[in-house]
Amino acid sequence: MLKQLKNVIMIAMIALVTICGSTSCNSSKKLSKKEYKAKVEQADKDLNAILNNETEWTLEEQQARIEEMKQIDFSKKNPEIMEMIERAEAKLANDFAERDRIAQERLAEEQRKAEEQRLREIEEQNKPKTSLTDYFNMIINAKDATAANKAINQALDLFESPDAVVLIRLNNYGDYDKPTTAANYLNYLKDQKKLTVGIDNIKYNAENKITELELIKK
């Protein structure tokens, strides 16, 4: 029984050595002359494309291709390929550094613009707002026509257009004066020099511009 066990172990060891030897031979198998020549020609072509910026490969793809070439021993028969690989690696390192620099500059520019926008928004929020009623009073109290016209133009910026509808309600019973427009009513205030209405209702569009203004007689 013991002798049979020894025989089984011996056979297993011989099989293992045979398998390992076979694997070792396959892994260390040398390229044929034809295969090696094809590898050299392809490496020369790809390295020249990389060095001369004549490839559409990404930097990562170029790096992967160089790593593939380094798996082949060109040092004995084609040392010029090894020299090209070194130059390609140096170029690739510079290209990666340049890409990172550009990305950082772009990020810094985006951050600068975002900060400028944030400050503008804060400034706009903190800027004292002139209400429509304020503009009404500026128009009727203007010292001359130039000042009144300036106030009218500023007030019109609050409207969707100079033709935005202005309704004047005469009383609480639903009686209205003839409809007019924002531009006409503001110019009417300039001429009359007095304010006899109050704001009753305002309609806005999506841009927060006045589309319809309803006033009521005081």
Its pTM surpasses 0.85? no
Of 97, 123, 149, which residue constitutes the final position of a domain?
123
Give the DSSP H or E segment for 30.
none
pLDDT tens for residues 62-74?
A: 999 999 999 999 9
Q: Does residue 185 share a domain with residue 115?
A: no
Report how many domains make up the chain. Answer: 2
Q: Does residue 154 share a domain with residue 91?
A: no
Q: Does residue 195 share a domain with residue 212?
A: yes
In angstroms, what is the C-alpha Rg of the chain? 42
Question: Strands 165-169 and 210-217, how do they pair?
Answer: parallel
Of 123, 140, 171, which residue constitutes the final position of a domain?
123
Q: Does residue 114 share a domain with residue 38?
A: yes
Q: Which long-range contacts (CB under 8 A, 24 or more apart) does 182-189 make?
A: 182/155, 182/156, 182/210, 182/213, 183/152, 183/156, 185/213, 185/215, 186/135, 186/139, 186/152, 186/155, 186/156, 187/152, 189/136, 189/139, 189/140
Of 106, 123, 140, which residue constitutes the final position of a domain?
123
pLDDT bucket at 155, cuts 50 / 70 / 90: very high
pLDDT over threshold 50, residue 140:
yes
Residue 42 domain-assigned (yes or no)? yes
| Dihedral-angle region of residue 194 (phi above 0 means left; psi in -120 to 50 means alpha; beta otherwise) | beta
Q: Which residues contact 44 (CB under 8 A, 6 or more apart)?
A: 81, 84
pLDDT attached to residue 174: 83
Residue 26 domain-assigned (yes or no)? no
Find the domain containing 181 and state its range. Answer: 132-217
pLDDT tens for residues 108-119?
A: 999 999 999 999
Average pLDDT along the chain: 87
Residue 98 domain-assigned (yes or no)? yes
